[in-house]
Structure 1
Amino acid sequence: MNVPMEQGILLAAILFCLGLTGLLVHRNIIYMLMSVEVMLNAAGLAFIVAGSAWGEADGQVMFIFILAMAAAEVSVGLALIIQMFKKFRSVDINKASTMNG
């Protein structure tokens, strides 16, 4: 099935905007990390759609790099969440403002 490039890019843009909205609205760090994941997947979708429209595998290669970066972001993010929860007994990002020092 061949999806037109405009529709794929529009879907990627909608997903990116939803992720950005979630990042700006939520103060819970777990929701913020999930929003960043949605934004990364939207960028990966844009690469795949563009690569498919141009008949090249470059988009899929870039998506593999995005997946590797997302895995690293999740591991570092979860380590930060664990440390933050040990110190503050909460995952609210506003409580982390006292960590500067």
Structure 2
Amino acid sequence: MSLEQQLLQRLAALNPSHLEVVNESAGHGGYFPGKESHFKVVMVSDVFQGLRSVQRHQKIYAAVGDLLAPSKIHALAIHAFVASEWQGQDTSSPECAHAPKTS
């Protein structure tokens, strides 16, 4: 099972009303086809109600646990919302300074 699929499976336990897992590895240095090292998670869930941003991230870290290891996921960008916060949020990622150059 791919790392992306494992992330989706584990994060489903937080009962999201919206869950998006994006493999952003291609935008980073050292990329090769099939590489899974950099991901972005956009999640909307009631379990985040009343929690500060760091507490929301901690819930996600607890769910994905051992996937955040040097031999697996190198970077995980997290955008965690409750439904009332979700509309109109910009969850775009900045370009990596070490991204492969296209020319």
Shared fold per TM-score greater than 0.5: no
- If asked which structure has higher relative contact order (CA below 8 Å, sep 6+), I would say 2
Larger Rg: 1
Instruction: Please give the TM-score of this superposition, normalised by the length of structure 2.
Output: 0.26
Greater strand share, 1 or 2? 2
Instruction: Name the TM-score, length of structure 1 as normaliser.
Output: 0.26
Higher helix share: 1
